[in-house]
Amino acid sequence: KAGVTQTPRYLIKTRGQQVTLSCSPISGHRSVSWYQQTPGQGLQFLFEYFSETQRNKGNFPGRFSGRQFSNSRSEMNVSTLELGDSALYLCASSLATGTGLYEQYFGPGTRLTVT
Amino acid sequence: KQEVTQIPAALSVPEGENLVLNCSFTDSAIYNLQWFRQDPGKGLTSLLLIQSSQREQTSGRLNASLDKSSGRSTLYIAASQPGDSATYLCAVNSGGGADGLTFGKGTHLIIQP
């Protein structure tokens, strides 16, 4: 079974631009979560989608948004990029949500550098 | 607000030693706790998931325990090997999945050959 895949793996953008990252969950998984990892703040929750609906959102500005498609693939978008958005963006998938029974499986991440 | 702390932040031990990594969390109302390892520049690999009703889980040389009432978990690694060198992260699920995982800052582990 293929794992969680994320594209692109590396990205360099300029301040003020926008970026879209993609995540394909493990086949059969309907929940997709996004996390930002930086050396200073560690791993922080961005948002989670289940059946195309955003279930919850972390404490990030509105420049960070996402969506999920009917095939469970998810995208996240960051508009008006700032230098502080440079980070490793990780996507995780799980079978379901709401019960705590299921492991979350992470993809390899997208390394975003903003110059 | 849930907070997760991992101690120590870094650890260096000779190969073959048994070791314990600690994780504490402030709100005992959790659904599960998950241990991950992360190699430099890579994603997270799930090691063990302990549901709130469980006390421990084992996988090979790894054993994780959970004491929900005291807000603590430990990851025991037996007979450490250089390949175990990585950052180990503890994450707590407090909202049944809908709230995301809350992570500790990790323990950076180096196993000396």
- Smallest Cα distance from A2 to chain B, Å: 14
User: What is the distance between the alpha carbons of residues A86 and A12, in angstroms, rounded to a whole number?
Assistant: 9
> pLDDT digit string (tens) for B60-105?
999 999 999 999 999 999 999 999 999 999 999 886 545 588 999 9
Q: Is A99 on the interface with B (CB under 8 A)?
A: yes
Most confident of A9-23, A39-53, B93-107: A9-23
CA nearest to A22, candidates A40, A37, A36, A4:
A4
Over residues A25-52, the mean pLDDT reads 93
- Chain B residues whose CB is inside 8 A of the A111 CB are 41
Instruction: Give the type of residue at B15.
Output: E
Contact present, B89 and B39 (Cβ < 8 Å) = no
Condensed to tens digits (0 to 9), the pLDDT of residues B21-68 reads 999 999 998 888 999 999 998 899 999 999 889 999 999 999 999 999
Q: Does A39 touch chain B (CB under 8 A)?
A: no
A25 upstream amide cis, omega within 30 of 0: no
* DSSP code of residue A80: S
Name the closest residue on chain A to residue B107, using Cα atoms.
Answer: A42
Residue B69 exposed, middle or buried by CB count within 10 Å (0-12, 13-18, 19+):
exposed
Binned at pLDDT 50, 70 and 90, residue A97 comes out as: low
Q: Which residue bears the tokens 């607000």? A: B1
Average pLDDT along chain A: 93
